Amino acid sequence: MPAVALCQAPPTLEEEGPIKDPPPPAIRHALVRRWIYEYHFTSSEKKLLEPSERDLQESASVLHLPDTGLIRLYPWMRRRRVISVEDLVDGRTPDFGSHACLFSFSKSKYGNALSGFVDPRLGWAELKLVDGRFFTGFTGESLGVLVALGNKPLEMITPDSDGVTGLTNITPPADFIEASILSRRNRAGFQMDRFNYGSSLPVAASMTYVLRSTSNKRADILVGFRVLRMGTDGSVTILWRKLKSYPKPDWKRFEE
């Protein structure tokens, strides 16, 4: 099977997309560093992120395997200066909604894990929940593709499963120009062997997904995950399993 072009997540809300045409040389260096801090959830917020005992018991057969986990994501919300009464009762802070929507499977961690006056491209996550949709490939210098496989047990999914091979055959770009071309080309997604691939797919109960996330100089992974529960508060409980890790990609940046 020929190599498949890597798909980039479409811009979401306040983001303009991670891979864009190079800025003019005069302002390139001004974009390299900015202040970012790593968010630390409070004890009350950590409880909101914990899966239920029922979900833990039902997922036991998968969780005993290596590189697996059970998480809860909450829908993206812009950082607010004030919070609602409901948030106060739950113990949420104004920053909760902008971090609990992000998860990195390569780091087994919420948020983008950056702190200080740094290059924002050094941080990354592989999955984001926004308005009832999953997004991947949304952080700087990253590309990502999702595919929905239907109501299938996660433990039965392998890199050779139907629909997954469209992701395993992806070849990372060689340089920034190629990455930019692939990004623009694939934002609309593509179809192959009866499966639809894209960087954004709607959240569906009991649906099993697989994503391929390739972040320049950071990580390249294949992950399967299944939606176990969709809460009335917009949260989504996800059982995940890393299927394969690839060598770190290393394509040239526009300033190199």
User: Does some domain include residue 14?
Assistant: no
User: Does some domain include residue 194?
Assistant: yes
Task: Name the residue range of residue 86's domain.
Answer: 34-245
Inter-residue contact 244 to 213 (CB < 8 Å): no
User: Does some domain include residue 64?
Assistant: yes
User: Does some domain include residue 19?
Assistant: no
CA angle 250, 107, 188 (to 5 degrees): 60
Inter-residue contact 172 to 192 (CB < 8 Å): no
User: Does some domain include residue 173?
Assistant: yes
User: Does some domain include residue 24?
Assistant: no
Q: What is the pLDDT along the chain (256 residues), one digit of tens a residue?
A: 444 444 333 333 334 344 544 444 444 444 567 666 677 899 999 999 999 999 999 999 999 999 999 999 999 986 655 555 566 556 678 788 888 999 999 989 998 766 666 665 566 789 999 999 999 988 878 889 999 999 999 999 999 999 999 999 989 999 988 888 777 777 788 888 899 999 999 999 999 999 999 988 889 999 999 999 999 989 999 999 999 999 999 988 765 5
What's this model's pTM, rounded to 2 decimal places?
A: 0.81
User: Does some domain include residue 184?
Assistant: yes
Q: How many domains does the chain have?
A: 1
Inter-residue contact 179 to 251 (CB < 8 Å): yes
- Tokens representing residue 230 in the block: 């969709």
User: Does some domain include residue 234?
Assistant: yes
